[in-house]
Chains A and B, each alone.
Chain A
Amino acid sequence: MKLIIKNLKKNFDKKEVLKNINFEFEKGKIYGLLGRNGAGKTTLFNCLNEDLPIDDGEFFLKDKEVRKIEAEDIGYVLSTPNVPEFLTGREFLKFFIEINKDRIKDEKTIDEYFDFMKIEKEDRDKLLKDYSHGMKNKMQMLVNIIANPSILLFDEPLTSLDIVVQEEMKQMLKSIKKDHIIIFSTHIMELALDLCDEIVILNKGILEKIDKNDLDNTKFKDKIIEALKEE
């Protein structure tokens, strides 16, 4: 399965934020999306998630046949976790499982999902408003994964997590990548190099893949920075 973007354009007033995006993202890979501040990474995600209308171009899914991306196809994890604070973790999961019943393959019990996300037993029946930032983040990721969307967009989701949780999340993402197209935006170069299979940079409104070829990590890093600096 592929996510194909063709000639995508997005302007804010006269500023062309996304100039002419052409790219194919494949299932089974984690794409690290790098870009300088204000490069348009979040705008690209917002366009793909249809939070923002695009000015031109198209994007679609191609498996055996080409089809439009539906709401159920996308999971979008924001850097600031947003969870309904009046529910407990268990209730939130129950609700999400019920509304996604038709799409969930090999449905597990709620506690199995909690185990998968390493959420402690004593926290499962607490109100989400009493969860820590890291736990809220885990819940946000979990419900997006449970829904089993084809595309997972992660907008700097690990930046504010402690290193233990970061490592847990990295392993979790690696374990689910075979069934999804994962695009992961980050500012942390090491994280991108460690986690992602492909590095894609968004610079001057254009999306381009940076090939690693036979470079070691230091040289590859330099190459990425050079590409980001390019006028």
Chain B
Amino acid sequence: MTKAFDNEMKIEFLSKSQNEAFARIAVAAFIAQLDPTIEEIADIKTAVSEAVTNSIIHGYEGKVGIVKLVCKIVQNEVFIEISDTGKGIENIEVAKQPLFTTKSNLERSGMGFTIMESFMDNVEVESVLGLGTKIIMSKKIKTNSSQEITQEMDISEDNSKELINSGVRGEE
């Protein structure tokens, strides 16, 4: 079977929360080659933001570390891997529960994994206490008639950010 499209990128950045926006915008720009809908872009950006926040806030707990992000495109599917070498998750099943948080005093909602799971097709978590956490998630970009809408809007490099920022409104 031949692959219609294969591509990959990697970035590494310090565990500073300023970089959350950088990470999700980098992924959004990279996957633009698949002509995703505005909604698909927004879903993926939100999931990336949640995973990166988890690494920064929970993995490294404010200490400086490196967050690694790998994004792959295989045919019309996007695979995103976000990993840290922070403290790891004690119990993954418990951490995935909606509203579970170890930091409720800091106004954390405990919705990170729930959002990742509902916005992506698949989310896998690997974690070893003291060694770090890796989140692998994937989403298929649909190639159907809804694509026509995005094609009309011509997501070029210059206006892609504006389109992404305009949210689903752009589909009018």
A and B bind: no
- Using a CB–CB distance below 8 Å, which chain A residues touch chain B? none
